[in-house]
Amino acid sequence: MNQENKVNGNSKNKQLDPFRSDDRDKHLTTNQGLKVSEDEFSLKVGSRGPTLMEDFHFREKMTHFDHERIPERVVHARGYGAHGEFELYESMKPYTKAKFLQNPGTKVPVFTRISTVAGSKGSFDIPRDVRGFATKFYTEEGNFDLVGNNMPVFFIQDAIKFPDFIHAVKPEPDTGYPQAASAHDTFWDFIANNQESAHMVMWLMSDRAIPRSLRMMEGFGVHTFRFVNDEGKAHFVKFHWKPKLGIHSAVWDEAQKINGKNPDFNRQDIHESIENGDYPEWELGVQIVPEEDEFKFDFDVLDPTKIWPEEDVPVKIIGKMTLNRNVDNVFAETEQVAFHPGSVVPGIDFSNDPLLQGRLFSYTDTQLIRLGGPNFHELPINRPVCPFHNNQRDGYGRQTINIGKSSYHNNSIANNTPSPASVEEGGYEHYQEKVEGRKIQARSESFKDHFSQATMFWNSMSDVEKQHIQDAFSFELGMVNNKHIRQQVVDMIAHIHLGLAQKVADNVGVQQPLTGGSDVSKSSPALSQMNTIYKPDTLKIAVVLDEGFNDLEVETVIQGLKEHQTYPTVISSKLGRIKGENGMELEATATFDTGDPVLFDALYVVGGKNSSKDFTKKTSYMVQETFKHFKPIGATGKGINILRENGITEEPGVITGDQVGNFITTFIDAVAAQRHWNRNV
């Protein structure tokens, strides 16, 4: 743990401190504080006799253990959480009275949990899936939770369908599989029969669904919210998180392999980054639309299957979140944190998006069963940093000791306190939107165009991204047993793009749709990951070397790589010191077994003086895999021979060099580019 952070905690960390317990160098006690003298042998009648009920330490220890598990989240079960802070760059005063958005420079503590959606808690990190992106801002006016995803739209338009959708994507009920995968019959059956999902499915089939690093993906509040200023005027607003390292993804073959080689790949990456002081950062952006413009778009601003194209409504960057402290205890913090899109502060309000409206019910309800009662707000991670007072009392696990006789309103014995605050005193007032209508259960006409933005998404992709989407559809539908479902989905894709539907149809053995297509020609360049930020910072480079390597050269290269903020790892046939030709030693911290190429962002091949056949064979495997996944490869000295043997020296993103200085510069450029798509793979 970074000591500076541990010591100079923000207000949330200071609040958490009294709850932290360091058991090191202490005596073992029972929960009653009694010192325990024996923790290996239960109390028995003679050393070979039966155990006695009287052994209170045994009973307490075992009972606690028996009750250690709580239900996992019904969705978003697998998550990684970290603390940090949000700093405001630009005042939002014209739009919202939220205090933490008034004065540039204001900092508030945050806790962010990033999750996969469909898989169980023990599943793997890079399934093809949406990522949850939930942030709790601990503000002086109470907690504001921005409970979003890494995709800006959703599968359904009304929350009443959420249980159906989740049932469809979770493992099938009669078999219990597949785990953490949408590539199966029930998911695609749902999609084909609920075509409002068309736009979201395009995102799910895109590279966005397989982020290489959680530090390199966007976040979105998805719904339209409202900002309300101190004059009571409202604007519609959408929230965005923009990663400072850009948006980068794995390729599918690589992702599948990572899930086997290191199922914790994403969480380990972000955990280690924070430990190394490479704090992940996202800028907060807002898109703001005046209420008067509500009907100026060719989509409904309340529809959660629609984006506001950034070229039409620019994203204004207003602040930055930095995650700078890992949790001390995953259960106490990451598992027990309870988010709720309904946790807002004065100046932030909801829209009538029917998905958002339904979510406002679901989150407290789910915490009641997951966290076992109504007092989960008292758990240290969930407490606001400002005081809270009300007449709610009792319930399982209650911690607050409320003093006094009165626990009701109105009262006279406590001077009618706690008392509601006026708006001027900071009391939350719901936005007084005028709403009239009949009570009906129907989809608004303005929610019925399911395909235009799906086509816009397709139009916005580069050729490589289009190919990936086509491959993803082909893979996913290829896993669907029921031919009828495959046909239905392909017919649905035809409404997005006929050519895509026809190619997928060919790949999955169903009839090519002959009609369909779309006349939407609009595209939004901001949707393509190709137009992102490219930096070498924090990328991991495998350095493969053997005994007798050219140590002077390698030392300079490794030094150069470090100066460009990358992380070289020496890999060899065995762990430990490897000797260079001039006697210099380098420590191999991974072997060919533990350092699979899919776990690295780039490869630097050094080789050795008299490398064995086995070394060359294993290095060749690393070269081939790295090459196939379009990742940068560099080689110097004997390493160049190995690249030659693999016939790839002339390919894009493959850098060979005898002049070390030039080599470092060109290799780093190739590393920063991350993927070299125009290879002959």
Q: Residue 127 or 132: which CB sits closer to ligand HDD?
A: 132
Could you say whether residue 184 binds ligand HDD (CB under 6 A)? no
Q: Pick from 263, 314, 342, 358: which binds ligand HDD (CB under 6 A)?
A: 358
**Contact 155/197 with Cβ under 8 angstroms?**
yes
Q: Residue 154 or 458: which CB sits closer to ligand HDD?
A: 154
Residues 582-615: b if buried by 16+ CB within 10 A, e if exposed: eeeebebebebeebbbbbbbbbbbbbbeebeeeb
Could you say whether residue 354 binds ligand HDD (CB under 6 A)? no
Q: Count of residues binding ligand HDD (CB under 6 A)?
A: 27
Could you say whether residue 199 binds ligand HDD (CB under 6 A)? no
- Give me the amino acid identity at 486: R
**Contact 644/605 with Cβ under 8 angstroms?**
no
Q: Residue 221 or 309: which CB sits closer to ligand HDD?
A: 221
Q: How far is the CB of 87 from ligand HDD (least distance, A)?
A: 22
Q: Are strands 567-572 and 281-290 parallel, antiparallel or unpaired?
A: unpaired
Q: How far is the CB of 155 from ligand HDD (least distance, A)?
A: 8
Kindly indicate which of the ranges 187-195, 362-370, 381-389, 630-638 contains the residues binding ligand HDD, using the contact rule CB under 6 A: 362-370
Could you say whether residue 203 binds ligand HDD (CB under 6 A)? no
Tally of CB atoms within 10 A around 187 = 27
Could you say whether residue 675 binds ligand HDD (CB under 6 A)? no
Could you say whether residue 332 binds ligand HDD (CB under 6 A)? no
Q: How far is the CB of 115 from ligand HDD (least distance, A)?
A: 5
Which residue's C-beta sits nearest to ligand HDD?
Answer: 132
Residues 654-681: b if buried by 16+ CB within 10 A, e if exposed: bbbbeebeebbebbbebbbbbbbbebee
Could you say whether residue 241 binds ligand HDD (CB under 6 A)? no
Q: Residue 150 or 626: which CB sits closer to ligand HDD?
A: 150
Q: Nearest Cα to 350, choosing from 295, 294, 431? A: 431
Give 404's contacts (C-beta < 8 A, 6+ positions apart). Answer: 413, 414
**Contact 303/157 with Cβ under 8 angstroms?**
yes
Q: Pick from 149, 150, 452, 453: which binds ligand HDD (CB under 6 A)?
A: 149
Residue in the block written with tokens 């299957």: 305
Could you say whether residue 376 binds ligand HDD (CB under 6 A)? no
Q: Pick from 115, 182, 470, 636: which binds ligand HDD (CB under 6 A)?
A: 115
Q: How far is the CB of 306 from ligand HDD (least distance, A)?
A: 12
Q: Residue 222 or 504: which CB sits closer to ligand HDD?
A: 222
Kindly indicate which of the ranges 201-209, 358-366, 573-581, 599-607 contains the residues binding ligand HDD, using the contact rule CB under 6 A: 358-366
Strand partners, 577: 587
Could you say whether residue 497 binds ligand HDD (CB under 6 A)? no
Kindly indicate which of the ranges 18-26, 355-363, 414-422, 646-654 contains the residues binding ligand HDD, using the contact rule CB under 6 A: 355-363
Residue in the block written with tokens 């959708």: 165
Kindly indicate which of the ranges 145-153, 439-447, 472-480, 633-641 contains the residues binding ligand HDD, using the contact rule CB under 6 A: 145-153
Distance CA 149, CA 133 (A): 5
Binding mask 62-101 for ligand HDD (x = CB under 6 A): -----------xxxx--x----------------------
Could you say whether residue 653 binds ligand HDD (CB under 6 A)? no
- If DSSP codes are grouped into helix, strand and coil, which group holds residue 400? coil
Could you say whether residue 201 binds ligand HDD (CB under 6 A)? no
**Per the structure block, which two tokens stand in for 214?**
């959680």
Give 82's contacts (C-beta < 8 A, 6+ positions apart). Answer: 111, 112, 270, 271, 274, 280, 323, 324, 325, 326, 327
Could you say whether residue 357 binds ligand HDD (CB under 6 A)? no
Half-sphere exposure for 375 (CA within 13 Å, toward CB): 13
Could you say whether residue 366 binds ligand HDD (CB under 6 A)? yes
| Residue 127 burial (10 A CB sphere; 0-12, 13-18, 19+) | buried
Tally of CB atoms within 10 A around 145 = 19
Could you say whether residue 180 binds ligand HDD (CB under 6 A)? no
Within its chain, how far is the Cα of 109 from the centroid? 19
Could you say whether residue 520 binds ligand HDD (CB under 6 A)? no
Residues 345-375: b if buried by 16+ CB within 10 A, e if exposed: bbbbbbbebbbbbebeebbeebbeebbeebb
Q: Which helix (H) or strand (E) holds 87?
A: strand 79-88
**Contact 298/309 with Cβ under 8 angstroms?**
no
Ligand-binding site membership of 428 (annotated): no
Distance CA 622, CA 620 (A): 5
Binding mask 538-567 for ligand HDD (x = CB under 6 A): ------------------------------
Could you say whether residue 379 binds ligand HDD (CB under 6 A)? no
Q: Pick from 80, 100, 137, 162: which binds ligand HDD (CB under 6 A)?
A: 162
Q: Pick from 134, 302, 492, 655: which binds ligand HDD (CB under 6 A)?
A: 134
99: DSSP letter:
G
Could you say whether residue 148 binds ligand HDD (CB under 6 A)? yes
- If DSSP codes are grouped into helix, strand and coil, which group holds residue 233? coil
Ligand-binding site membership of 190 (annotated): no
Residue in the block written with tokens 């006695």: 52
Q: Pick from 147, 490, 545, 557: which binds ligand HDD (CB under 6 A)?
A: 147
Ligand-binding site membership of 325 (annotated): no
**Per the structure block, which two tokens stand in for 198?**
């068309």
198: DSSP letter:
H
Ligand-binding site membership of 162 (annotated): yes
Could you say whether residue 342 binds ligand HDD (CB under 6 A)? no
Instruction: Write out the DSSP string of 143-189.
Output: EEEEEEESSSS-S-SSGGGHHHHHHHHSSPTTT---TT---SHHHHH
Q: How far is the CB of 465 from ligand HDD (least distance, A)?
A: 23
Q: Residue 80 or 592: which CB sits closer to ligand HDD?
A: 80
**Residues acting as catalytic residues:** 76, 149
Q: Residue 82 or 542: which CB sits closer to ligand HDD?
A: 82
Q: Residue 224 or 566: which CB sits closer to ligand HDD?
A: 224
Q: Pick from 215, 320, 325, 359: which binds ligand HDD (CB under 6 A)?
A: 359
Q: Residue 114 or 508: which CB sits closer to ligand HDD?
A: 114
Give 555's contacts (C-beta < 8 A, 6+ positions apart). Answer: 584
Q: How far is the CB of 401 from ligand HDD (least distance, A)?
A: 28
Ligand-binding site membership of 212 (annotated): no
Kindly indicate which of the ranges 43-51, 305-313, 361-369, 592-600 contains the residues binding ligand HDD, using the contact rule CB under 6 A: 361-369
Q: In angstroms, how far is the first alpha carbon of the chain from the final one?
A: 42
**Per the structure block, which two tokens stand in for 489?**
């989905």
Kindly indicate which of the ranges 14-22, 356-364, 465-473, 591-599 contains the residues binding ligand HDD, using the contact rule CB under 6 A: 356-364
Residues annotated within the binding site are 73, 113, 162, 359, 363, 370
Please report, as ranges, the residues that interact with ligand HDD according to CB under 6 A. Answer: 73-76, 79, 113, 115, 132, 134, 147-149, 154, 159, 162, 222-223, 304, 337, 339, 355, 358-359, 362-363, 366-367
Binding site as annotated, residues for heme: 73, 113, 162, 359, 363, 370
